[in-house]
Amino acid sequence: MAGGLSTRMRSTTSKHLHPLLGKRVVDWVIDAVRPLAPDPIVLVASPDTASAYEELPVSVAVQAEPRGSGDAVASARAALEGFEGDVLVLSDTPLLTPELLSALLDEHRREQASVTLLSFVPDEPFPYGRIIRDASGSVQAIVEERDATDQQREIRELNSSIYVFRAAALWHALGRIDDANAQRELYLTDAIGHIVAAGGEAIAFTSPDSVSPQGINTRAELAAAAAVLRGRVNQAHMLAGVTIVDPQATWIDAGVEIEPDVTIHPFTVLRGATSVARGAEVGPHVVAVDSRVGEDVVVGPFCYLRPGTVLEAGSKAGTFVELKNATIGRGAKVPHLSYLGDAEVGEGSNVAAGGITANFPHAPGSPKARTTIGRNVKTGIHNGFQAPVEIGDGSWIAGGTYITEDVPPESLAGFPPRQITKEGYLREQHDDD
């Protein structure tokens, strides 16, 4: 179910679409259930958000009006026409794991229940529905906190809003729920009582941990979920051979790939489709987004790798360096205080402090021009490069120079305030030797 509003999050964006470590809340939920091979997967959306799920491998059902969780599930009935198996109902629960869902399904099928709900017992009380049991311990109903008595609010076993229903029992019960409650909504939780009243068996499977079943209703809960997922992601990398010096100060998106023997220093953020190869050292205080870091590369501190950056083996992007859509060749160095955007730096070259590529497009709508710095080039401090411009292999650039014209190979260029190019200067020096 992804049709709910973000009222308690105070957001115009559906809570299911808020980002969590490189994925949306809804993506985490779908990724948790996908290993169970459900067929079909039906996602219930509001009319305003339905288009946001079109790229997902799901069928989208639209809940025309926000009339409650029971109505949301009923909105999926047409997409499940003729389906007679078990219906797994999930909501805004990004911390779910395939293992927990598999255990829930196993319990449901072993007990041959009409409905099995996932309950949990947190250390502190939550504003969730309470599980009502009879004297024998059998589940009789779920009472939402707003509708609960003071005595019922003392119950510590809470409803996670995750269920497995036999399809026939679910549709029969949904036809009998009404909105006689504090919120004037159609509660899915009321279906439990109707199933029991009709002679069906309702059971609760209690989660082994109280964290995984928790949902997202506020931005504070969103941040808490992010911290849990960060811990899981970092733990997986460390067990795979990555050194993360301070896991609590390191944020790595779920889609980032890191090879063994990489060292990640504190306050590093790796986002998107970033990859880091064996032997690289990243941080501290590094942000990398959709970038590729090669073997034995050194990055940071205070380095920003923007989308499209490639650091080839043995290269370096040092302190206060920003790279965007730039390739730094094998063994090349951009040690400090430079911005290179839409640029290529060849193997073995060194860009001294204060190197800047001026890559702004010359005409509205035109692509940004590129700067190409060849192999074994040495630039001076405070160099600017007006793209498009190409610096030939083996050339040197004098400090304080703003390069506006191509520099042929093995040349010495610069001498502010105007550029002077001594073509072949370095070749001639070598010949004299």
Instruction: Reply yes or no on whether 336 is catalytic.
Output: yes
CA dihedral sign, ordered 396, 397, 398, 404: positive
Q: Which of 172, 206, 240 is the last residue of a domain?
A: 206
Same domain assignment for residues 337 and 386: yes
Kindly state whether residues 174 and 49 are assigned to the same domain.
yes
Structure tokens at 61: 């059902």
Q: What is the number of domains present in the chain? A: 2
Evaluate whether residue 237 is within a structural domain: yes
CA 143, CA 117: separation in Å to the nearest integer? 13
Mean pLDDT over 115-121 rounds to: 95
402-423 pLDDT tens trace = 999 999 999 999 887 767 788 8
CATH number where 354 lies: 2.160.10.10
Tell me the pLDDT tens digit for each residue of 246-305.
999 999 999 999 999 999 999 999 999 999 999 999 999 999 999 999 999 999 999 999
Q: Is 119 helix (H, G, I), strand (E, B) or coil?
A: strand
Q: What is the pLDDT of residues 146-201, one digit of tens each?
A: 889 999 998 999 999 999 999 999 999 999 998 888 788 898 989 999 999 999 99
Q: What is the pLDDT of residue 314?
A: 98
Mean pLDDT in residue range 53-61: 89
Whether 102 and 154 map to the same domain: the answer is yes
- Residue ranges of the alpha helices (H) in 12-81? 25-33, 69-74
Tokens linked to 146: 């707003």
Same domain, 172 and 255: no
Shared domain check, 250 and 129: no
CATH of the domain at 75: 3.90.550.10
- Exactly one of 265, 336, 382, 430 is catalytic; which is it? 336
pLDDT digits (tens, 9 = 90+) for 75-111: 999 999 889 899 999 988 999 999 999 999 999 999 9
List pLDDT tens digits, range 309-358: 999 999 999 999 999 999 999 999 999 999 999 999 999 999 999 999 99
Are both 202 and 242 inside the same structural domain? Answer: no
Question: What pLDDT score was predicted for residue 416?
Answer: 77
How far is residue 403's CA from residue 385's CA, in Å, rounded to a whole number? 5
List of residues 6+ apart from 30 with CB closer than 8 A: 41, 43, 56, 57, 58
Mark whether 201 and 278 lie in a shared domain. Answer: no
Q: Which residues span the domain enclosing 406?
A: 225-432
Both 271 and 399 in one domain: the answer is yes
100-to-36, 87, 118 alpha-carbon distances in Å: 11, 16, 9
pTM: predicted TM-score of the whole model, two decimal places: 0.89
Let me know whether 236 and 271 are in one domain.
Answer: yes
Q: Are residues 428 and 352 in the same domain?
A: yes
Residue from 164, 190, 166 nearest 177 by CA: 190
* Cα atoms in the Cβ-side hemisphere of radius 13 Å centred on 251: 15
Pairing mode, strands 263-264 and 412-414: unpaired
Asked if the structure places residue 68 within a domain, the reply is: yes
Share of the chain above pLDDT 90, in %: 73
Question: Same domain for 65 and 199?
Answer: yes
Whether 264 and 197 map to the same domain: the answer is no
